[in-house]
Structure 1
Amino acid sequence: MTIPAFGLGTFRLKDDVVIASVKTALELGYHTVDTAQIYDNEAAVGQAIEESGVARDELFITTKIWIDNLSKDKLIPSLKESLRKLHTDYVDLTLIHWPSPNNAVPVAEFMQALLEAKKEGLTRQIGISNFTIDLMQQAIDAVGAENIATNQIELSPYLQNRKVVDWAHEHDIHITSYMTLAYGKALADEVIGRIAKKHNATPAQVILAWAMKLGYAVIPSSTKRENLQSNLQAQTLMLDAEDMAAVAKLDCNDRLVSPEGLAPDWD
C-alpha cells in the first residue's frame, strides 16, 4: 500500500467546524482524512464520515497515538478507542504522533506495540511523526523500514528539512509534510506569488504542488469550501525546474512547531 499524495488535515478543527470541513471535502472528492487522538476531534471526524455516505473502502483514514498512550499496555487499547470514535473497524494508517519525551517509553516498545496493532488488523499501515534521524534509526531497528509507511514532519518552503528527508529516502521511508503552508506565512511570499501568477494559480496551489512534485504527501486543512476546492487543484499543477529551484532557495530553517518538553533534539 502507498500513502495518498493529497489529503485533508484536521488539526485545530473541532466539533461542528471539523464536521463541516470533512463533509465538504468528501463531497468535493477528497478521499484522505488525517486526525489524531490529541486533536480531540476523532468522534466528530467519524460522524462526518458516516454522514457523508462515502463508502469506507473509498477512504484513507489516518490517526496518531498520543504520548500518554505509548506504553505497550496502553497503545492498542487507545487505538481501539480511536476506532470506536471514528466509527470504523480499522484505520489505514496509524502514526506515533511524537516520540516519547525523555525516552520515557523506549522507541522499540511503542513501535513493536504498533506493529502488533497492524498484525491484529486495527491498522493497515503504521508510521511515525516528528522523528529525527536517530529516532528513525531506532524505529527501523525495532520493526524494520518495510513496516514504516511514512514519517510525517513539519516541512514548508521555509523549512525544507533536507537532512531528514534525504536520510529517510535513503532508507525507503516516505515523507508526509505538515504545516506545508507555514501557517499561511508562505502564501504572502513574493517568489511564490510570481510563480502563482505565471501559472494562473494560487500561492497555496504552488506550495502544495511543489511538495507533491518532491514526492511528499500533503494534508492541508481549511474550513472554507472555496479553499478546499482550490487546494484539490494543486494535484494537476505542473511546476517546471525553474519554479522548483526558486522555491528551493526559500529554505531558511524556519521551524514553527517545536513544543517545549515534547520536541526532540532536531537535526
Structure 2
Amino acid sequence: MKIPVLETSRIAIPKLGLGTFKMTGAEGQAGVEGALALGYRHLDTAARYENEAEVGAAMAAAGLPREQIFLTSKVWWDSLEPEALRRSLDASLAKLRTSYLDLFLVHWPAPGMDLPGIIKTLGAAREAGLIRAWGVSNFTPSLMRQLEQMGAEPACLQVEYHALLSQKPLLDWCQPRDIALTAYSPLARGILAEQPVLRDIASSHGVSPLQVGLAWLLRQHGVVAIPKASRRESQQANLDAVQLMSRLTVEEIATIDRLPKDQRQVQPDFAPDWNS
C-alpha cells in the first residue's frame, strides 16, 4: 500500500509513520523490521526511548536504500545546551548507523532554555548535512511564537493529537506557515476503542474504532500520525486506515469533530503549561 506523503516547502514526510516508544531489545528490532517489510517508510525514535540501536539494526537488516526511509529522532530536554545538543545528535547518528536524520526534534521544552543557541546549533547541523530538517515537540503556542519572532523556521511540530484532544490553536498556527504537525499517541493510548461514536462508525465500515480515529487524523491537511505498533496485526490495521480516509462521510467526520476534545494522555511533571 502506498502511504501518502505530506509535502511542504521544508519537508516531505510520509503521512503515516511508526512510533517506536517502548520498542526495545530484540522484540523491538523485530517489530521495526516487520513494519518496514509491510511498507512503512517513516520511523520515529528518540534518544530517550533508548532504542536507537535497535532501530538502526532493523534498518540495516531491511536492506532498503537509506533515502527510502524517513527517519526522525529527538534530543531530550536536559541536553539542549548547544554542545550537549550536538553530542546527542552525534550519538543518535552513531546508534542509528546513519550519516543523517531526515528530521531532528527538540523532544520537550525546558525552562530557561537558550532558544537562540538551540536554533543556531540546529541550523549548523543542517548546513553540515547531519539533518535534513529540524523541528520541535511539545511546544506551546507561545513558544511557537517565540521561534517565529527569532526568525526560525521549524519544519515540524510534534504533539499529542487524537480524536479526543483538540490542538486547534497549534493547527491554526502551523497550517498557514507550512509547518507539518505530527500527532503522537494518535490512538489516545487505545481509549478510542471504547468510544461509542467511533464504534458505531467503525461498524458501518467493517473496521475498528481505532482505524476510524486514525483515518480522521490522516485526512486532515498538514497532519502526520505516528502510532506505536509492535505487532504485525496492529501495524497492518494502521496501514489499512489509510484507505479509510476517503470513505469517511461528511456526517461521520462532523460527528467525530463533536467528541469531547480535552482528554490528554501524556502529562509528565516537566510538561509546559499547555495553554500558554
Whole-angstrom CA distance in 2 between matches of 1:219 and 1:201? 19
Aligned counterpart, 1:232: 239
Distance (whole Å) between structure 2 residues aligned to residue 12 and residue 50 of structure 1: 20
Q: Please give the residue correspondences for 1:40-119 in structure 2 after superposition, counting only pairs within 5 Å.
A: 40-100=50-110, 102-103=111-112, 105-119=113-127
Which amino acid counterpart does residue 115 of structure 2 have in structure 1? V
Question: In 2, are the aligned partners of 1:112 and 1:142 still within 8 Å (CA)?
Answer: no
Q: Which runs of 4+ in 1 moved over 6 A?
A: none
Query: Match for residue 196 of structure 2?
Result: 190
Q: Shift of the alpha carbon at 1:171?
A: 3.0
Query: Which of 135, 139, 146 lines up with 1:127 in the alignment?
Result: 135
Q: Which runs of 5+ in 1 are unaligned?
A: none
Cα deviation, residue 120, structure 1:
0.9
Give the residue type in structure 2 aligned to 1:166: D
1:221 is displaced (CA, Å) by 1.3
Provide the rounded CA distance (Å) in 1 between the counterparts of 2:261 and 2:67: 41
Work out the CA distance in 1 between the residues paired with 2:263 and 2:168.
13
The answer to whether the Cα contact below 8 Å between 2:119 and 2:152 also exists between their aligned partners in 1 is no
What is the distance in 2 between the residues matched to 1:252 and 1:206? Answer: 16
Please give the alpha-carbon distance, in whole angstroms, between the structure 2 residues aligned to 1:263 and 1:5: 26
2:251 equivalent among 220, 225, 242 = 242
Equivalence for 2:146 = 138
The farther-off stretch of 170-179 and 78-87 is 170-179
Secondary structure at 1:33 match in 2: strand
**Structure 1 residue 17 displacement after superposition:** 2.2
Secondary structure of the corresponding residue to residue 51 of structure 1: helix
Matched residues in 2 for 1:244 and 1:142: separation? 37
Equivalent residues of 1:8, 1:32 under 8 A apart: yes
Residues 78 and 143 of structure 1: is their aligned pair in 2 closer, same or farther, counting only changes over 3 Å?
Answer: farther
Instruction: Tell me the secondary structure at the aligned position of residue 204 of structure 1.
Output: helix
Matching residue of 1:263: 271
- Report the alpha carbon displacement of residue 214 of structure 1 after superposing the two structures with TM: 1.2
Moved more, 24-33 or 109-118: 109-118
Letter in 1 for 2:265: L
Question: What is the DSSP-based 3-state SS (H/G/I as helix, E as strand, rest coil) of the residue aligned with 2:103?
Answer: strand
Query: Aligned-pair distance for 1:19?
Result: 0.3
Q: Distance in 2 between matches of 1:205 and 1:197?
A: 11
**Percent of aligned pairs with the same residue?**
39
For the 8 Å contact 1:6–1:219, the answer to whether it is kept is: yes
Alignment of 1:199 with 2:205, yes or no, is: yes
The alignment of Structure 1 onto Structure 2 pairs a total of residues equal to 262
Deviation at 1:142, TM superposition (A): 3.0
Give CA-to-partner distance per residue, 1:75-120, whole Å, 9 cap, x none.
12210110000000001000110011x22x2222212211211111
The alpha-carbon deviation at position 220 of structure 1 amounts to 0.8
Between 199-208 and 35-44, report the one with greater CA deviation.
199-208
Q: CA RMSD in A?
A: 1.2
TM-score, structure 1 normalization: 0.94
**More deviation in 196-205 or 180-189?**
196-205
Contact 1:108/1:138, CA 8 A, preserved across alignment: no
Q: What one-letter code is carried by the residue in structure 2 that aligns with 1:201?
A: V
Map of 2:4 onto structure 1: none
- Normalised by the length of structure 2, the TM-score is 0.91
